[in-house]
Every structure is written in structure tokens, then in C-alpha cells.
Amino acid sequence: MVLISQRIFLETIKKYCLAHKIAIEIRSGGWLVIMTRDGQRRLAIGYDLGLNSAVAHQVANDKAACAEALAAAGVSVIPHTLFLGAKLSKHIPGSDSFDAMLRLLEQHPQGLVVKPNEGTSGELVVRVSTRPQLERAAARILAAYPSLAISPYVEIEDEVRVVLLDERALIVYGKTRPTITGDGTHSLRELARRAVAAEQLNTATEDFSAAELEVILPAGERRILNWRHNLDAGAEPVLLADGEARDACVALAIKAAKAVGIRFASVDVVRANGRWQVLEVNSGVKMEALGKRHPDLVEAAYQAALDEVFA
């Protein structure tokens, strides 16, 4: 795996090591970092600095297991149900049951969200409301991943990410989905091209059919482009001001981190049906999109984590 060397995560590690006289080796195109000082050898891989235990890391990366662990600890969480692909399902009878998936769809007529049970950046996260859609989504995900998770679709009013280090909130920011306003002249597709980066256009507009994208929006009509709040789908990070909402999100995120036993993580908290719930916990703390707007803040967060790595 080759990554661009300008990743803020990697650049921050390089700056930190230089400032603290730590020898650094960058391997695998920047995916693996080896840091050595006074006989101490520390590793960073992906967006993981190594502060979390193996169990906490694995639970956080397993969406269904994480949801169950949080629910068992009394944390308000969006439920996720695990389904296994052919290679794993033989070990747990019924874990590949499409009938069980259909029953979930019947229980939630507003729809379901189907996603890889382990995955990041919103890849292959699909909203379904019919049997054919569910069949296609499950087949597509299980062709690429060993398992999938299904959660009920809920209308998310707000989504907030809380970056925590040892139960201390380092950064709290919301994710604002791209919105367009009709002018009576341009099509939805043309307006979307102005609203999001070219590389995000397909992802940001995938909720619309080809015909819908060619519709001319009436002047003044506003549309949210994507039901997802993923930054890779065009959403923008916005720092959350002090107040009741921020306090509620931080308190819930800390409760979730304690339940999982994780030290350094980002916790996604959503407001749906008027209450805050945990959507997921991320063991790898990726802040590239936020770093484009607030590089000093992101660097400070990673540096605080690195201080703990070499404490």
C-alpha cells in the first residue's frame, strides 16, 4: 500500500521525531513507521499509534461487536447485526441467513444500512429499502469482505466526531453534508459539480438516479446531496462550539471509550429522533479532511498522543 507522504498524520510524526531526537524509519510507502529512542522502539501503522490494546482495537474495528459491547454497558448506540460470508458462516449456523436479513427489513420499513463489518471511510455503505436492493448490497459487500453489519436506517439530524485521548476530548467537530440551492437554470448534476470536489462527485450524488441528476432545480429549492455524513462523500468538518450539544457528545463519547477500554480513538456520535447515540468507535484516528482546515489543531492532537507513546 502506497500513500502520499504529505499525509498530516505522517508529517506530524516526522516533525515530532525530529523535535524529540527520535530515529524514524518510514516503510511500506508510509503505512508503517518505526520510531526508536534510547532503546525504546515504537511502531505506528495506518492511523494507529499503538496506544490501544489489541482487544480494544479489534472491538472498535468490529462494528457489530462494538455495538453489542456498548449496549451491554448501557451506552446509547445504533444497533448493528452481524452476518458472515460463506468462509466464516459454517462456524456459526444461521449467521449467513438471508431470511434473517429480510426479517430486519420487515421490522424497519424505513430501510436498513448495510456495510462491511470492518471498514472505514464509508466504503460500500449502502441504504436499502427493498429485497432486491438488500440482495445486491449483501452480495457486493460479501464479495469483498468476510462479513457485513446491518443497522436500521435513521434520519440523522447531526453527526459529531469526538477525538479522545485517555477520556479527554482533544477535538470535537461536526460533519456538515453538502447542500445545493436551485437557480431555475442549472441541473442538479451541474449544481453538485460546483458544491463538491470532482473526486467526490460520484459518491456525493449516488442517491440520485441519472434522470434525477438532470432535473432543473427551481430557484431557491435546497437539497442535501447525500444521506451519509462521511467526509469522503463531500461532508465538511466544522468545529463544535462550547455548549450543551458539545458537552453531551463528549460525555457520551467518553462513556463509549470506557466501555470499550480504548485510549486514543475517534467516536462518532449522532443525533436521531431527538437523542444522541453512538454510531461507531474508530481505533485508527484519521483527520486528513480536518487537517486541511485546522492543521495546528490536528498536529497538536497527534503530538499529545505521541507524548503518551513515549511517556
Name all domains of the chain by residue range, CATH numbers in brackets: 8-52 (no CATH), 79-153 (3.30.1490.20), 180-225 (no CATH)
257 has a pLDDT exceeding 50: yes
93 has a pLDDT exceeding 70: no
Helix H or strand E encompassing 101? helix 98-107
Using pLDDT thresholds of 50, 70 and 90, give the confidence band for residue 3: very low
83-98 burial: b if 16+ Cβ within 10 Å, else e: bbbeeebeeeeebbee
Q: Cell 479489534 belongs to which residue? A: 58
166 has a pLDDT exceeding 80: yes
> Does residue 23 contact residue 16 with C-beta atoms inside 8 Å?
no
Using pLDDT thresholds of 50, 70 and 90, give the confidence band for residue 91: low
1 has a pLDDT exceeding 60: no
pLDDT score for 97:
79
pLDDT top residue among 92 and 51 = 51
Q: What is the pLDDT of residues 196-205, one digit of tens each?
A: 777 667 766 7
Q: How many CB atoms lie within 10 A of CB 140?
A: 14
CA 176 – CA 250 distance, rounded (Å): 18
Side-chain half-sphere exposure of 167, counting CA atoms within 13 A: 8
Q: What is the pLDDT of residues 54-71, one digit of tens each?
A: 999 999 999 999 999 999
CA 296 – CA 6 distance, rounded (Å): 15
CA 263 – CA 193 distance, rounded (Å): 40
Of the candidates 280, 285, 282, the residue with the CA atom closest to the CA atom of residue 304? 285
- CB-based contacts of 33-36 (< 8 A; 24+ apart in sequence): 35/309, 35/310
pLDDT score for 275:
94
Percent of the chain, pLDDT > 90?
A: 64
Mean pLDDT is lowest, of 4-8, 76-80, 124-128, for 4-8
Of the candidates 252, 260, 265, 248, the residue with the CA atom closest to the CA atom of residue 72? 260
pLDDT score for 62:
96
10 has a pLDDT exceeding 90: yes
pLDDT score for 119:
73
pLDDT top residue among 112 and 184 = 112
| 3-state SS class at 122 | coil
pLDDT score for 228:
65
> Does residue 43 contact residue 34 with C-beta atoms inside 8 Å?
yes
CA 252 – CA 174 distance, rounded (Å): 15
pLDDT score for 234:
64
| 3-state SS class at 196 | coil
* Mean predicted lDDT score pLDDT of the chain: 88
pLDDT score for 233:
60
Q: What is the pLDDT of residues 282-310, one digit of tens each?
A: 999 999 989 999 999 999 999 999 999 99
CA 2 – CA 24 distance, rounded (Å): 18
